[in-house]
Structure 1
């Protein structure tokens, strides 16, 4: 597997290295500097580079390269998963913006983490919850004399147990669960109004502050759940006749989810990690509720004037509001000035972006507003054909999902039967929401 790990600065200096096998030398870092870092200054390179029979797989964070080197025919997906997980571990130990100086100041701790996460080139323990039991910023491996560390029996059960993502003995005065459903809407529409691409990329993020080892059950209104003829999920679905069924194209779960249980009755059953984690990712491509409808119109008036009108209509409930709405309306590069009229928000021509930018802080549902603009263009000696880039919109709509997905139930079971406060939030954002003009 992996022969060596390097942490290399953007200047090509080796900040820290760990060798797991003797088939790679320090010279490999020089090869990486010369053929990857230097080449990146002039263009882009793939994340895998083979140099002198060595495979270099790397990711970048701030001013650091995390580089794995191997002479074997390794599983690239596994190596990248390890590098991404290592990056997450470093973030949890040193902060989200750790850099070269942070690694140098904590090199002893970094070596401990590298030794625990990998054994002879094979990834081993990459769970930050387990690592924090016996490796922290103020102490090394826990011992019975070290009151700051976890007891050895707890360490053993945590590392070798089936639930290594959650430690035992967690206690909270107030037990709470926060569940967020985030969706990004991607749309590409032609100038004639034909939808060329339309999908929703969603994620379910949870933050659990729960005592003990609770079991959670989550039910969604996905199509397979609602059409199931037996089991507890079907009983709940039957109580909500008329609920819209959402057909999820594909989804991935956190490793805490019991996939066998999900296959049996379509309920998401799991013992959650402590704190915040991503429970689920999903994608929907059918029956998408678009939050906005945009109707632009361009009318050329000779060679130096252009009339632009844009109708913006919100399609969600009038009880909801979109926030931070930004519409970027392309203009020709030779635009000199633009006279703009808008009934809401602020709009101005931004020459650096070659666009009229209309910003609206708050936009109510089931509302229509119109922008009118008169654009004056400079007449040049060499006129170039305008490429007409697509119109773009950014927005955020709280308590709305374009896919129609919603949480039907969220239950928490624990042997002490303590009360739990649950919070559910929905947020839909613009991904690549574009309209060709």
Structure 2
């Protein structure tokens, strides 16, 4: 018998060849190769793109080099840079890199350079299990925790004295069932299920205050600690607002299509239940307004800045963590400003002005005004700088998305349950 193989088909195992972790300073502090070792010089193409980007988030996620593709995400002030040798869906790789960052967050409490260095052995064990010969294998947190036990101080001491590792000796129970995201035999004294509805506003506002572009990126984060094998349903008051949804594999998609109800057997612990968009077609309401005037005089080496910010659509909730960031032109040498609330800093090297307001007081609107000193003889800037807004509002889902009820089936106990809402600014920019 002769078997013909299509030589044009490339094996899926060639997905990711290498992974580099890079800090904000551009230092590679960890690397992992699943096949042959690729030289660190391949990252030079990434460093060039990083130098051109105004902010780390603006580095292109996909870069093409003569022999490789570099696919990158930026999480928690770290770059996760993967090297791919063949053409593959970039979103597939990006999703895997986010899974790696989420796993580090779940295992170590945070995903930072110092924490990763302190747990480097566990990090390499996780990467070895998450990717097999360059292709994703075990990416669910519950499965990984049965294979590789999370580090503790006591376990670290025992491993040092005995020479053992955190790798388990038995196959995870989730791998043997049709519910691989949940381990068997889960027991809790206090049974609880909490959900956080977090929405980020991406918006561009022109100098007259008119919204040019606005949309909301939403995510529902879950923390479920329930005994046994609970079956949950989550209903919304207005599911028609949701668009472009992406669900955790536990969600029964056919029931969502038919009834617009989330029905699922949840993983144990923390996980992302779903993500969604709310576009400008649904009239996204911005929570704050900005009045600004940035001018550079035709003659002389000076300019003027005046910024006032106030609440707009906050539903009576308090705006917290309010911050305004301005990337000044290179010709601005110094600033002499007065802030009616909060404080400001100006970095001469990066030309970055940061006004940290804190909590917004509706009765006394914060204002920042004063003069700008320019380089002598420098030409007047052709474009005024844009303002980036950062904020958060507790207990507010600005899109109007609301959870109406949460029901549990399959178990007889009554769990504690709750839903919290949070609105944040994503890429919120005011063009001047």
Q: Give the TM-score normalised by structure 2.
A: 0.73
Q: Evaluate the alpha carbon distance shift between residue 12 and residue 387 of structure 1 in structure 2; reply closer, same or farther with a 3 A threshold.
A: closer
Match of 1:230 in 2: none
Note the C-alpha offset of 1:203. Answer: 0.6
Q: Distance in 1 between matches of 2:374 and 2:411?
A: 75
User: Following superposition of structure 1 onto structure 2, how do residues 349-368 of structure 1 map, counting pairs within 5 Å?
Assistant: 350=346, 352=348, 354=351, 357-364=354-361, 367=363
Which one of the candidate residues 304, 310, 314 is aligned to 1:313?
A: 310
Contact 2:80 2:97 in 1 (8 A): no
Unmatched segments (≥5 aa) in structure 2: 1-11, 51-59, 157-165
Is the counterpart of residue 340 in structure 1 residue 353 in structure 2?
Answer: no
User: Following superposition of structure 1 onto structure 2, how do residues 345-424 of structure 1 map, counting pairs within 5 Å?
Assistant: 345-348=341-344, 350=346, 352=348, 354=351, 357-364=354-361, 367=363, 369=365, 371=367, 373-375=369-371, 377-378=373-374, 380-416=376-412, 418-424=413-419
Is the counterpart of residue 29 in structure 1 residue 38 in structure 2?
Answer: yes
Is the counterpart of residue 178 in structure 1 residue 194 in structure 2?
Answer: yes
Note the C-alpha offset of 1:50. Answer: 6.6
User: Following superposition of structure 1 onto structure 2, how do residues 251-270 of structure 1 map, counting pairs within 5 Å?
Assistant: 251-270=245-264
Q: Distance in 1 between matches of 2:311 and 2:345?
A: 23
Q: Evaluate the alpha carbon distance shift between residue 156 and residue 369 of structure 1 in structure 2; reply closer, same or farther with a 3 A threshold.
A: closer
Q: Distance in 1 between matches of 2:66 and 2:303?
A: 55
Contact 2:294 2:384 in 1 (8 A): no
Note the C-alpha offset of 1:310. Answer: 3.5
Match of 1:205 in 2: 221
Q: Evaluate the alpha carbon distance shift between residue 405 and residue 382 of structure 1 in structure 2; reply closer, same or farther with a 3 A threshold.
A: same
Note the C-alpha offset of 1:38. Answer: 3.9
Contact 1:7 1:17 in 2 (8 A): yes
Unmatched segments (≥5 aa) in structure 1: 20-25, 140-147, 225-246
Is the counterpart of residue 96 in structure 1 residue 111 in structure 2?
Answer: yes
Match of 2:183 in 1: 167
Q: Evaluate the alpha carbon distance shift between residue 56 and residue 13 of structure 1 in structure 2; reply closer, same or farther with a 3 A threshold.
A: farther
Structure ID, larger Rg: 1
Q: Distance in 1 between matches of 2:187 and 2:376?
A: 72
Q: Distance in 1 between matches of 2:127 and 2:374?
A: 61
Note the C-alpha offset of 1:223. Answer: 4.7
Q: Secondary structure at the match of 1:363?
A: coil
